[in-house]
Each structure stands twice: as C-alpha cells, then as structure tokens.
Chain A
Amino acid sequence: MSDTLRYAGAALTLFVGAIHLQQYLDVLRDVPTIGELFLLNAAGAGVLAALLVTRLQVPAALGAIGLSLGSLVSILISRTEGGLFDYVEPTFRTPVALAVIAEVAAVAVLAAFLVLERRRAAQGRPSPGIA
C-alpha cells in the first residue's frame, strides 16, 4: 500500500510539473517572475518525482507536498484582485483545473504515504521501498 501511494504521488507530481511546463510554453513565457516560477516548478517536480523512488523518499514526499501546496496557494492568490506578482488568472482554464485536481490529489496521497511510513518506523520495520 505504501509503495502504491508513493508511486501515485510521484506520478501526480510529474503530471503537475508537466502542466506547469506546458503552461509556460503556451501562455506564460513572457510573464515576468511567474514564467520563471513555472519553470522552477516543472524542474522541481521532476527532481522530487525521481527522488520519491530513491532512499530519500520521505524528504522527497515532504518536498512534493510543499510544491503542490505552494502551487495551490499561488493559484488562489492569482485569483484575487491584486494577483500574484501582478499576474491575475481571470479564468479557471482547463489546465488550471487539471493542475489543481492533481495537486490536491498529490498532497492527499503523499500525506497518506507519510502516515504509513511513520507507523512503519514506529513499529521498527524497514520501508519496503528500500532494498
């Protein structure tokens, strides 16, 4: 179960990063600061998804949760009147909706993974993902 959650979290994190890269290329490449942040999100998602299948899976899960939560907070701020770094997202476009769904799912799945890992550590059992 723990491994299933971890792989699902890695897949969702990859998906979130891919959407950010696609949105950078399609819409936001000329938007100051926001464009650069989308590239950082995509690169960060790639690194964290890869780390989720290594020995650094717990820190990677925490990082991936942080990345998704940061993205969710950012989209909320960008929907306010002042926007985020002068960028206002006036419409809830399909890629935005997909990203929000994937980010919420990633947070839920990886949080569940961390809970299972914590229980496993408390019982003194090794993680099944570590050979």
Chain B
Amino acid sequence: MSHVPQGMLDRAFVALGALLVAVTIAVAAFTLGDTPPGQASQPSSSKAVSTNSVTIRGFKYLPPAVKVKAGSKVTFVNDDTAQHTASSPGSGTDVETATIKKGERKTITLDKPGKFSYVCDFHPFMKGAIEVE
C-alpha cells in the first residue's frame, strides 16, 4: 500500500462501490417489474399455438402452450445458458426430455391425446403445456 496514497485508494474503493450500487439500481429499475414474480411462465393464461417447436429462453418455454396432432414430434431447443428439462412425471405422457444443455435440442413424440402440463426439473417455476389432438 506504500506506493499509492491511502486517501486516493480509499476514494477509488468508495467510487467503485458507489458505481456498483448505481449500476445495480439502474439494472433493477429497467428489469424488475417486467414479469410479476412467480408468473415467469403461465401456460394457463396463454392460448395454445400450433407448432412443433418450443424454445427455452430466459427461463421460459416459448410458446408456453403448444398444440400438436397425436403422433407428432415436439422439439425443445435450449437457448439459455442454464440446463433445463421438460418433464411431466406421472401424467402418462411422453413429455420427458431429460437434461437439455445450452444450445442442445431434444425431440419427443406424443401419441396420447389430451392436455398435459410440464415443468423443468431444475426450475419448477418454469411451466409449459402441450395439447395433443
């Protein structure tokens, strides 16, 4: 510490601490409130979209609800940095992707008609639904 005046070092740390606080507050102001807590993915409020592809991004299934024909394949693409799954244990469906790593995709085939909800095993607040016609 002898090479740098202590007062200058103190001011530098105060400035860096203040900068971190200021940036954090700015980030919070711009990002919090976009989505109510616990409402990150609510398929029940979403209309089912006819598609065979679900993208996982920002800890959400997009679209949160999909509609497919019986016997169709549905592909889950993980665009998140975190690992995810799409799992519907005990529902009698084949919605079980196992772990999908960053950038990976997993395809499942759905034969049984019905409406099935699924979650991520790692992050159960993530919810999705598949309607098999």
Contact = CB atoms under 8 A, between A and B. Distances in A.
Nearest to B38: A32
B37 A32 contact: yes
Contacts, number: 105
Interface in B72-86: 80-83
Interface stretch (B20-28, B45-53, B63-71, B105-113): B20-28
B24 A27 contact: no
Nearest to B82: A27
A39 B21 contact: no
A32 B36 CA distance: 8
Interface in A78-94: 83, 86-88, 90-91, 93
A61 interface: no
Given A52-B13, A88-B122, A90-B83, A47 B21 contact: yes
A32 B32 CA distance: 10
A7 B21 contact: no
A51 B83 CA distance: 37
A125 B116 CA distance: 70
A14 B60 contact: no
A31 B123 contact: yes
The 3 A-B pairs with the shortest beta carbon distances in the complex, nearest first, are A50-B17, A46-B20, A46-B21
Interface of A: 3-4, 7, 10-11, 14, 17-18, 21, 24-33, 36, 39, 42-43, 45-54, 83, 86-88, 90-91, 93, 129
